[in-house]
Structure 1
Amino acid sequence: MPVYIRKNVNFTPPSLDKIPLEDEDDYITDPDQLKDPLPQPYRMIDKVLGQLVEDVWNIVESRENERLEESRKVRPPRHENTKSLEYLRKCGCMTDSGDGLYMFIGHSKGIIVIDANTQEKVTLWEEDRVDLQYIRAHIIAPNVYLLVSIDDMGFSRLHAFSGDKLYLLKHLNEHQEGTDKMIISKCKASKEGDYLGVVFENPESRDIWLEIHKLPRENWVTELDNIKAKLQKKEEPKQEVKEVKEEESTETAEPAEGTDGEKSESQSQIQQTQSNEDTAGVKFSQPSLVFKLKPPPQVSALESRGNLASSVYSTCQKVDTGEVIGTGQNHVLSTTQIELRKEVFDHLHENLLEYASKDDTVDNIQDVNFHFLNAGKMIPLGLENPANLTIPTTVAVWWKDNETKPDMVWPFTAKITSSAVSDETSLMIIGLVDGNIVLWDRYLGIQRGVINISDNSCIEKLLFLDPSICPQEMTEYPPYSTRTTSYLLVQCRNGAMYAVLMGAGGTQAEPICLSPQIEESGEIFSKVETIRGLPDLILTVLQNGNVQIRDVLQGKVLCEMKVPDTHEIMSPWDPVVAIGNTGQTLYLRVIEREPAETDETTTDASTPQGTVLVYPLNTFNTLETFFNRKRDSIPLSVHTTVDKRVDALMKERIAMQALRKDRMQERWNCFKEEIWTILQYKEQAARKAEERDVYSPGSLGWTPLFK
């Protein structure tokens, strides 16, 4: 059979040495690899979709872990409200009277005063286009209260509440034609209403300044007494006529059912309008301006301003004596010299000027903080008269920069972020931006300690806690108290909260952590306040809307306020909440929730209606032990005078008189033994002296020393 072989083909059989060995892993485990790789741009789309699926899965996994952790947490008990005050739908602020008798509510048309126990209206003051956003109450006399309020337009008013009536004392910044409109951003009175600090702002020129006014408190009290006496005389005949008419109406016919509430409400409104008409034209004594304080010039403005003095001698006359720290305004550098220095600097660093920050606009509005302080040894004005120790004599002010030419300056190593003063103003805490706090004893004029709270956050808020919750250190000597042991509550900007022990020997170095650093923004505290009458508890409001009552020493959440599902807290970052009736009742402002889906045909531009919920704290089981616990009032600062010290030492000596007699008797009994011991020592010494050998020159042998 013929075989056909192709021409010009060289066939070389494979060599056994060149055959590759079989690999055990030489197979495809993933069936998807059998397919060819995708071309661009589909390969990029596949990669993006794969990364997206992986990110979504990570988010789902993290949320599931958070839900598991949240479900494992121990939930504090939640309590519902027992009453809803519908007539306070447009409440903007509220405050306690200080003695637990009344609650002052600021709403969209004025002020409403309610009874703290029954939540019933007492009186009201109304005015058109007055939406109050800030209100504070001060007791200036028995059953006489001073109210300081600010509305949403920046107008501030002073009211007095006495005899179940409200009186308008002063409109602080009433706008007049032909003058610039001035708004008030901050208004705060001293504890007993002796002085008033007002921060004015000019929106057009962006100027800001602080004014301190002396309030005629005693004159107001006497004027209110006279007004009440006149009103009482006018109401006596009206009351008699009213009683006669009521007797005749009860004899003729019986009232219909269901109309008692309407009649009582209408009668109360008529009485309130009549009281407002009676007090409308009353004129009161006016406050007097003590001084006006402007903010210091900024450093950038001082750097570009030279000295306009004609000679060096006139410049040196303006320089201070060095007792206070200034801002560098008084110097001998002229404007030409400062401009020449700037040109030289720009020429040397021309290549780096493009990276320098350029501040085109400078905001002149600065936040000012101030505290009224009583007399102390740091500024001893008023110490010579013991009757004036409770009256403020000094104002502590801090701006973004130091104030010029004050009576005294406290220099600090960092910027001030917060400050607090005790009730008697003898202690003062300063919080710094570097996380340190500085405690000053103003009365003694000494610094009690510097503590580092946090290294990565600044101090946000400072509070003095009641010293009755802290065990007091007992000293054997001296017999009188020197200092009080207490706690300071410190809140940092990162959400952490600490309690710092302020001992008798100074502050402790280790603060107690009540709440760790918070990572989620919704868990950060938006409001932290102490509760009057319950020193062991504090009120906290979180930015997510939770209102909590906590143990101040342990940081444990004892209970939460439950809000109805149809409502939510109004502005959780600045909540409207207050505690009245000496810690027994909590008032919370809520608004209706907006529906998730709104119909276009039924849209309404009106603001959601709200109400004020009332929570009786004294009925909560978790707070029962704190209400039953009795605490003795302890002053935060103890200042023992020389007379008190002498009296304490004399009482101690008199109390130890019987002990001294026993000690004297024991001492006289010990004298006999001591005398007998001394005589024995003398006899023994004489006996040894007699037994001792006596040497003479004749009895000694001859030596070269004796001649």
Structure 2
Amino acid sequence: MPVYIRKHPLEIPPPSEKDWIKKDEEENFFLQDPDQIFDSLPQPFRMINKLVTLVFEQAWEIIEKREALREAQIQKVKPTLYLPTAEFQVMGRANCLAASGQHVFVGLSSGLAVFNTPSCKRICAWESTRLEICAIRASNLGNETHLLVTVDDMGLARLFYFYRDSLLLIKVLNEVEEISKRNTCVEAELSQGGDYAGILLQGSTEAWLEIYRLPKESWLKETDHSQAAAAVSSFRERRLSQASTKSLDLPGEGSAETESPMSANRVETKLSLPVLLLKVRSPKPLTGSTFKSPLEALMKIDDGSVIGLGQNHMIKDYQWEQQDAIFRSTFEKHLERESEPDSKEEKPSHAVFHFLLPSRILQIGPEIKAQPDVPTGISVHWNGSHNLCLYLLTRPSKEKTDAELKPDTVWPCAAPITCSAVTSCSSYMALACEDGMITVWDRCLGFPLAVTALPEGCLSRTIHFLQTSAAPRDQLPRPKVQLLVLCTDGSLHLVTVSGPRESRTVLLADRSEDPDQTISAVAPIPAFPGAVLVFSWDGTVCLTDTATPQTVCHFITPPSHTVASPWQPVFTVDTTNQCLLLQGDEQQQQASLPTQTKGNQSSIFLFYFDSYQSMKVFPAVPEPPPDSLQHLPWDERCDIFLCDRLQRLPDLSQQVPKCWSQLRKHAAALRRESRKK
């Protein structure tokens, strides 16, 4: 019987697909799922299974987070919802709002309209086809007179004068005969009392700021004269119409008076034009020096009492290149290896400027009498610049506006300035830089009040000063400043400054994971200290109390409307009538209305704060701030300073021993180091 004999020995086969488990994971694997060893899949199905399982687990985690957030929102106490107390319709789409006195100015897609706030009635309008007003700034001049400056979609800045239900166009500030030479207006501002106006213009190669002096006193006289002439002409026409009706002796009409078609609004009034006062050009990029000697550089400097912008220097191009090469070779390991910046520096194209009242920062001299409520200077900082430039408005008329204007004062910062804010009384100024540092300046005393830092990774987008209680007249005002800072990541912070070393930052709203709840804008309410309006992308308008901090209530539109463009809401806070004006759009679901009616009308909703019960949680309106100390007599100022010094004496006596102990320790350390050497 033949027997088959294997020539080669039996070999151990290679590991199969079942042996994919690692040795260190074998015990845990069998403990978790012993049956999985019989269900293992071959490649590539095993990898696909792992990916599907990973996606499922990540999706399940997201679902669990959303469910937890939804349950937390359900269990959370819902704030009170308040509907608007009044409403008025405007023809066309409203792009911007401005409240001044008892009037509301609405920038439309076809011009400008004026409404009365208490009655919500339209007073007058300035219409122009194919012209869309994008921004409005208003200033109350008193006696039902207001000054307006507008910017349209074509970049034209117009100056209007509203007087006794009449809207007059004074001038187009950047109008030129040739369209090719027109410069675009980027931003426009008015001073608080309407004494000055500023527009930021941008050309093809550079940008500059123009400041105008406004003859508001002469405008009032000219409008009074024109109104009187219009009344006389109207009276004469009525008399002529009466005489003509009597001579004709028509039956049924008798001697009834007829209204003249000529009215005061139709009388052409030519007002005096504003005067160009300053022209501030954007700073030039720093380049190598062209001077051959230091004497030539000194000849270019008119006054050596002010720190300049660094243009007149003796550093050559090759010296900068050598220093840059040495720096990069020394710190090559610490430098970020990213794409190298362009060799050509971009010129600044945008600036932020504020009108400043008299203070110790800008000395105007004893020969010029300054009024406490009239601006005496402006502050300007350009994008990407470290310097805050201050310019005087009380300049002699001999200087040429076309000449290169040098700043009167320069405040250099450690990082580029991103945004700034000034209080209404110009007592404090806040500067936010790209490194997250915020500096609060006391303009009356002339030194920084405090320097504080935002949390890491937060960059300021907007800054607002909050209203605080005022000090009595017989005491020095204690420096307590509150800042509302909205960051670029959507977080909201409250910065409280009480002194050089006393600053505190509170997180009011963290960055939301839901994009619809991202904060789009904030606005403080001056009449209610600590009250802040917060607008979100989903159309929510909530009132937050910064002292708690908690949401007090929500302002909502009627069910038939929604907040228009919630990512950039059109609203304004009327400080005179204490109300919020907000634009709303009609819901798309109401298809029964004609399409033309929807597109040609916009709804403006008014929320009067005094009519809501929840507003009582805020403290009473603080007393008006006392007169500035620099306007008091010298004997009263000395008494106030001495009393304040006497009150601070106990605190100073406690700080003196600490300072002496620190000095002794420092002196002892210096002695030890000197002995070792």
In the superposition, the TM-score normalised over structure 2's length comes to: 0.75
Distance 1:518 1:180 in 2: 45
Shift in CA distance, 591/332, structure 1 to aligned 2, threshold 3 Å? same
Determine the structure 2 residue equivalent to 1:430: 431
3-state secondary structure, aligned to 2:61: helix
Amino acid at match of 2:47: M
Determine the structure 2 residue equivalent to 1:369: 352
1:489–1:497 Cα contact (<8 Å) kept = no
2:40 to 20, 37, 40: 37
2:467–2:526 Cα contact (<8 Å) kept = no
Residue 264 (structure 2) pairs with residue 278 (structure 1):
no
1:467–1:635 Cα contact (<8 Å) kept = no
Determine the structure 2 residue equivalent to 1:590: 584
3-state secondary structure, aligned to 1:413: coil
2:632 to 627, 641, 652: 641
2:165–2:265 Cα contact (<8 Å) kept = no
Note the C-alpha offset of 1:208.
Answer: 0.6
Note the C-alpha offset of 1:355.
Answer: 6.0
Determine the structure 2 residue equivalent to 1:550: 544
Any idea what the Cα deviations from partners look like across 1:604-629, whole Å, max 9, x if unmatched?
9x9696422233333222125659x4
Determine the structure 2 residue equivalent to 1:561: 555
Distance 1:119 1:178 in 2: 39
1:296 to 283, 293, 299: 283
Determine the structure 2 residue equivalent to 1:511: 504
3-state secondary structure, aligned to 1:96: strand
Any idea what the Cα deviations from partners look like across 1:553-605, whole Å, max 9, x if unmatched?
33322211123444332222321112337354322112234569x9xxx999x
Amino acid at match of 1:288: V
Give matches, 1:55-454, under 5 Å.
Answer: 55-97=58-100, 99=101, 101-177=102-178, 179-202=180-203, 205-236=204-235, 277-279=266-268, 282-299=269-286, 302=287, 305-307=288-290, 309=291, 313-318=295-300, 323-333=305-315, 357-359=340-342, 362-381=345-364, 388-399=371-382, 400-401=384-385, 402=387, 405-454=406-455
Amino acid at match of 1:515: L
Distance 1:453 1:226 in 2: 56
Any idea what the Cα deviations from partners look like across 1:123-165, whole Å, max 9, x if unmatched?
1111122211111211224221101111122111111111111
1:614 to 587, 593, 606: 606
Shift in CA distance, 214/26, structure 1 to aligned 2, threshold 3 Å? closer
3-state secondary structure, aligned to 1:220: helix
2:197–2:213 Cα contact (<8 Å) kept = yes
Shift in CA distance, 452/636, structure 1 to aligned 2, threshold 3 Å? farther
Any idea what the Cα deviations from partners look like across 1:537-557, whole Å, max 9, x if unmatched?
232212332112222433322
Distance 1:327 1:222 in 2: 43
Note the C-alpha offset of 1:348.
Answer: 12
Any idea what the Cα deviations from partners look like across 1:621-653, whole Å, max 9, x if unmatched?
2125659x454323485446334617979xx9x
Note the C-alpha offset of 1:283.
Answer: 1.9
Distance 2:146 2:29 in 1: 93
Of 424-433 and 193-202, the range deviating more from structure 2: 424-433
Of 150-159 and 175-184, the range deviating more from structure 2: 175-184
Amino acid at match of 1:549: L
Distance 2:479 2:338 in 1: 53
1:88–1:611 Cα contact (<8 Å) kept = no
* Bigger radius of gyration: 1
Amino acid at match of 1:621: Q
Note the C-alpha offset of 1:362.
Answer: 4.9
Identify unmatched segments of 5+ residues in structure 1: 10-23, 246-250, 254-266, 653-707
1:594–1:608 Cα contact (<8 Å) kept = no
Any idea what the Cα deviations from partners look like across 1:239-286, whole Å, max 9, x if unmatched?
7899999xxxxx989xxxxxxxxxxxxx99x98x9665434xx32211
Determine the structure 2 residue equivalent to 1:530: 524
1:485–1:501 Cα contact (<8 Å) kept = no
Amino acid at match of 1:459: S
In the superposition, the TM-score normalised over structure 1's length comes to: 0.72
Note the C-alpha offset of 1:486.
Answer: 4.2
Shift in CA distance, 386/345, structure 1 to aligned 2, threshold 3 Å? closer
Identify unmatched segments of 5+ residues in structure 2: 7-26, 245-250, 390-404, 644-677
Shift in CA distance, 290/74, structure 1 to aligned 2, threshold 3 Å? same
Distance 1:558 1:485 in 2: 28
3-state secondary structure, aligned to 1:92: strand
Shift in CA distance, 244/584, structure 1 to aligned 2, threshold 3 Å? farther
Distance 2:52 2:553 in 1: 47
Distance 2:29 2:500 in 1: 74
Amino acid at match of 1:227: S
Shift in CA distance, 144/42, structure 1 to aligned 2, threshold 3 Å? same
Give matches, 1:692-703, under 5 Å.
Answer: none
Shift in CA distance, 637/457, structure 1 to aligned 2, threshold 3 Å? farther
3-state secondary structure, aligned to 2:104: strand
1:88–1:612 Cα contact (<8 Å) kept = no
Distance 1:414 1:29 in 2: 57
Amino acid at match of 1:72: Q
Determine the structure 1 residue equivalent to 2:670: none
Cα-Cα RMSD:
4.4
Q: Percent identity?
A: 28
Any idea what the Cα deviations from partners look like across 1:175-232, whole Å, max 9, x if unmatched?
4226412110011121111111111011xx2421111111112111111111221222
3-state secondary structure, aligned to 1:511: strand
Note the C-alpha offset of 1:432.
Answer: 2.7
Amino acid at match of 1:223: E
Amino acid at match of 1:528: V
Shift in CA distance, 110/414, structure 1 to aligned 2, threshold 3 Å? same
2:284–2:347 Cα contact (<8 Å) kept = no
Determine the structure 1 residue equivalent to 2:12: none
3-state secondary structure, aligned to 2:407: coil
Amino acid at match of 1:483: P
Distance 1:240 1:508 in 2: 76
3-state secondary structure, aligned to 2:565: coil
Shift in CA distance, 78/636, structure 1 to aligned 2, threshold 3 Å? farther
Any idea what the Cα deviations from partners look like across 1:92-114, whole Å, max 9, x if unmatched?
111111x3x11111111222111
Of 337-346 and 67-76, the range deviating more from structure 2: 337-346
Shift in CA distance, 357/234, structure 1 to aligned 2, threshold 3 Å? same
Distance 2:225 2:37 in 1: 103
1:201–1:208 Cα contact (<8 Å) kept = yes
1:435–1:453 Cα contact (<8 Å) kept = yes
Shift in CA distance, 643/345, structure 1 to aligned 2, threshold 3 Å? closer
Distance 1:340 1:640 in 2: 54
Distance 1:42 1:327 in 2: 68
Amino acid at match of 2:611: T
Determine the structure 2 residue equivalent to 1:681: none
